[in-house]
Amino acid sequence: MRQEILTGVERRRRWSDAEKRSILAEVGVNGARVADVARRHDLTRQHIYQWRAEFRRRGESLSDETGFLPVEMTPETTVPSVAAATTPIEIVLVNGRRLRGIEGLSPSGLAQLIRVLEGA
């Protein structure tokens, strides 16, 4: 009877949430596909899809970075109301989807709609 003992690096690796987010953030950068990123990190594509689903299921953001945008306050009299706007409202999401015809939606309803569409 012959027995073989394998030595070397343990194959099962543990990834922290920060490492997972960093790897997930590489998808789409400079046209990188899921398969490209998986190959670069010696993973299967399924790992990336599972991690993405795990973060969405927990309702967590996929990026560690929180950004702020500059805001300029103007007098209320110069801001046209949404009902008086002559051009239709259109919002383009990060994933390329567009929202149109959302004039009567409450801010909380709009935020929920955006979260759902960005997660899809």
Domain that holds residue 115: 86-120
Q: Can you tell me whether residue 66 is helix, strand or coil?
A: coil
Give the mean pLDDT of 50-71: 78
Q: Measured between alpha carbons, how far is 8 from 17 in angstroms, rounded to an integer?
A: 26
pLDDT of 14 strictly over 90: no
Question: In terms of domains, do 53 and 92 share one?
Answer: no
Token look-up 């990336």 returns: 48
What is the number of structural domains in the chain? 2
pLDDT tens digits, 65-94: 556 777 888 776 655 555 555 566 777 777
Domain presence at residue 42: yes
Domain shared by 18 and 60, yes or no: yes
- Residue 55 within any structural domain of the chain: yes
Closest CA relative to residue 62, chosen from 98, 26, 112: 26
Q: How confident is the model at residue 49 (pLDDT cuts 50, 70, 90)?
A: very high
Q: Where are the alpha helices (DSSP H) in the chain?
A: 17-25, 34-40, 45-58, 107-119
Please tell me the pTM assigned to this model: 0.45
**Residue 34: inside a domain, yes or no?**
yes
